[in-house]
Structure 1
Amino acid sequence: MPTPPSPALGTRPHNLARILRLVHENGAQSRAALTEQTGLNRSTIADLVAELVRRGLVDERVPDVPGRVGRPSPVVTASARVVAIAVNPEVDAIEIAAVGLDRSILVRERLPNESLPTPDAVAEVIATRIAAWREGPLAAVRIEAVGIAVPGLVRSSDGVVRNAPHLGWIDVPLARRVQSATGIPTVVDNDATLGAIAEHRFGAGRGIDDIVYLNGGASGIGGGLIIHGAPVAGAGGYAGEFGQNRPRISADDDRRTADGVLESEVSRALLLAAVGLETADDETLDDELSTTDSPSVADEVTRQAHVLASALANAVNVLNPALVVLGGFLATIADLRAPQIEADVRALAMTESAEGLEIRPAALGADRLLIGAAELAFAAVLADPGGAEAQADAT
């Protein structure tokens, strides 16, 4: 995800951005807490907050504290009335939500696909849902941008989907098409990259700056990297394609393909088949896998956990992360086979590289990709809140 240019350090625009990001990422903050965290004086904080309130980006209230002597410090929260439209088009369904700047999800829908969605169909769905929501739950909000998390290689500089193989999209200018259909600024990036950002800021990776994230979805397995606290996308924006790597599989019983990549061996489709389902959302699949007493299902989960661990060990050896986060159906495997995965990774990875390593399921669950897409959509306003005023005046 490209980082929008930020105002110069120490300037008023920079301080506005600091305040907005603090309440966006950390939740409600008193003016006193903002003063302590930023080192700015109380009058400067009051002035900055007043400007953000005027721009509609934050709300401020005086808390009612029974029995307190004196006036308590006003509490500042990011506004739920400034929203991003977050979208995750997948082979089985299109998920779309309106996410507030306070990270609340105002409305969310999962729209199953009867066939693989085309880029034009996705653009039409987004435009149709926004129009409908503007007559209902989004009647009184300001839509900042549309953020789209795509399961494929995305040139993040211009939102061109270079290759989403499971969707059948090649060199699709998706950002331009959706912006044309909706009239709203649109940004696009890889789904796992955005999932990594969401889990780093708000989920299992909060407070940890060296993370490998693997996302398991209907389209396969993708990955995202956080190194020294920053997302790493590679020269073209395509880093993290763990699903296309070939795991080392020593036991023949663990192999399902002659020379398959990770996402062919560790597969949501194989898990669905094991429990006798053609399609399901993550929650349904998780419930089926967690409650079944079928030995064949248990064997398949165990097999996939062994193969997944071999891929994780390779990542640990190369990147030496402090944390591995697993999302989607991989989170279910991690929950069901945690001791096995940890033991396998430590057996296969270099001892020194695995020192202190933790492996966790994604904490944001089914929201992770939508929260990540919303972060992409909010990136410009978080970097420079002054731009929001110009945009609001132009609409």
Structure 2
Amino acid sequence: MKPNGSNLDAVRRHNLGRIVDLVHRGRSLSRSALTRSTGLNRSTIAALVTELAERGLVTESFASTEGVVGRPSPVVSPSERTMILAVNPEFDAVTVGAVLLGGSVHSRMRHRFPSPPSAAESVAAAAGLIVDLVAGLPRGTQIAGVGVAVPALVRAEDGVVRLAPRLGWVDEPLAEMLAQATGYPVYVDNDASLGARAERHFGAGRGIDDLIYLNGGASGIGGGLVLGGRPIRGAGGYAGEFGHTFGTEGGVPLEDAVSRDALVAVAFGPGDPVPDDAALERALAESDRVVTAEQARVLGRALGGMINIANPSRVVLGGFLGVLAAIEPELLAETVARYALGPAEEGVQITRSELGEDLLLIGAAELVVDRVIADPARIGEPSEIARVATAGAK
């Protein structure tokens, strides 16, 4: 049977998505590498890349030909014409960034709150930052959508925050609220689950199929889990809430026993401005190590239990947990070894996040990247997924 037009169009869109996915993960790939990876012929790859370039998703360039025999293959890279807006609401602030395909942050803005904000206050602040951020982007920039990484249990299909314990949010329709405030399509998910994705694609978890990621922030501790190369989300999408496990002595939740607030108080004293992680690490290195040692022991005990359950090959620690691991590396490793079963603990690497403050913005952007990969042909066309920034041209 001869394929009809709709089938051919579906195949084309699928192949466009494959190219976007490969270029996004690889950041720069030659046409010949795309040909090998997809199994498509060179003329088909050339046509697909040309269409994606016209839609502002990729660019082509030629690598240096010095010392190279034969005609070089063009290099395909993410275009700077298309950006994703990423939002990270927290206990004490909201951060908004413009993220490029390929997982790099172009620009960011942050608004601090004097007290934990309501969902409406976070949305209003994020919407204001988005207006200012978009106004500063180059004229003609396409905005593919908004991704939100929130420290909460999120119903991913509709972006409803079921529960954000530190923020005090319950059943807040965050995606709908932010979409109405900005006019962009909005997608929301748990921050640590998105952080795990970002680290696996672009950071300390590259190439790792069995991974635990723990994020420590102002709102507590969250986690993401990848096993067999697949994110583990659970029946309702709420898996990974390691901060609310009760493996500590006395049944105290992990995020209450290991907290950023306690480390800040030791390093800077009560009432001082909240530092970034780099400043916190410098101050803790020169402070009394009693609290850092205590927290490292609690964290190590919890990690030992997690390793027994998930049997990962790598554990990645982000935020203040990465700071704690850098201050007390030997003590943390000794405690993990004490509580993890020998065979499960063998070969496990405990490492720090490589993406730093960009981590959750890159993770949030992945929500929109998924939609772009699913249908790249929607970018560059008037639709709900692609809008153009025309203000504040540079």
* Equivalence for 1:263: 255
- SS state of the match for residue 49, structure 2? helix
* Equivalence for 2:297: 306
Which residue identity is paired with 1:287? R
* Equivalence for 1:163: 163
Among 256, 276, 283, the alignment partner of 1:288 is 283
Tell me how far apart the structure 2 counterparts of residues 66 and 321 of structure 1 sit (CA, whole Å): 44
Higher deviation after alignment, 143-152 or 104-113: 104-113
Which residue identity is paired with 1:95? T
* Equivalence for 1:218: 218
* Mapped pair 1:358 → 2:349: yes
Note the 1:1-395 alignment, pairs <5 A.
11-66=11-66, 68=68, 70-249=70-249, 258-277=250-269, 278=272, 279-290=274-285, 292=286, 294=287, 296=288, 298-391=289-382
Give the superposition deviation at 1:247. 2.2
Matched residue count: 376
Tell me how far apart the structure 1 counterparts of residues 202 and 75 of structure 2 sit (CA, whole Å): 21
- SS state of the match for residue 352, structure 1? helix
Tell me how far apart the structure 2 counterparts of residues 75 and 322 of structure 1 sit (CA, whole Å): 33
| Closer, same or farther: CA 375–391 of 1 in aligned 2, 3 Å | farther
TM-score normalised by structure 1 residue count: 0.90
Tell me how far apart the structure 1 counterparts of residues 280 and 151 of structure 2 sit (CA, whole Å): 19
Q: Verify the 8 A CA contact 1:152 1:165 in the aligned structure 2.
A: yes
Tell me how far apart the structure 2 counterparts of residues 229 and 91 of structure 1 sit (CA, whole Å): 31
Deviations 1:65-121 (A, max 9, x none): 346565421111111221111111111211111001133322112221122222222
Deviations 1:27-66 (A, max 9, x none): 1111122122222221111111111112211111233434
Q: Verify the 8 A CA contact 1:81 1:101 in the aligned structure 2.
A: no
Query: Which structure 2 residue ranges, 5 or more long, are not aligned?
Result: 1-6, 388-394
Which residue identity is paired with 1:355? E
- SS state of the match for residue 179, structure 2? helix
- SS state of the match for residue 170, structure 2? strand
Q: Verify the 8 A CA contact 1:265 1:304 in the aligned structure 2.
A: yes
Q: Verify the 8 A CA contact 2:300 2:336 in the aligned structure 1.
A: yes
Q: Verify the 8 A CA contact 2:242 2:254 in the aligned structure 1.
A: yes
Q: Verify the 8 A CA contact 2:296 2:332 in the aligned structure 1.
A: yes
Q: Verify the 8 A CA contact 1:86 1:147 in the aligned structure 2.
A: yes
Larger relative contact order (CA 8 Å, sep ≥ 6): 2
Tell me how far apart the structure 2 counterparts of residues 353 and 105 of structure 1 sit (CA, whole Å): 36
- SS state of the match for residue 247, structure 1? coil
Tell me how far apart the structure 1 counterparts of residues 347 and 43 of structure 2 sit (CA, whole Å): 44
| Closer, same or farther: CA 140–289 of 1 in aligned 2, 3 Å | farther
* Equivalence for 2:391: none
| Closer, same or farther: CA 134–219 of 1 in aligned 2, 3 Å | closer
Q: Verify the 8 A CA contact 1:80 1:104 in the aligned structure 2.
A: no
Give the superposition deviation at 1:391. 4.8
Give the superposition deviation at 1:392. 5.0
Give percent identity, aligned residues only: 48
Give the superposition deviation at 1:346. 1.7
Tell me how far apart the structure 2 counterparts of residues 102 and 72 of structure 1 sit (CA, whole Å): 23
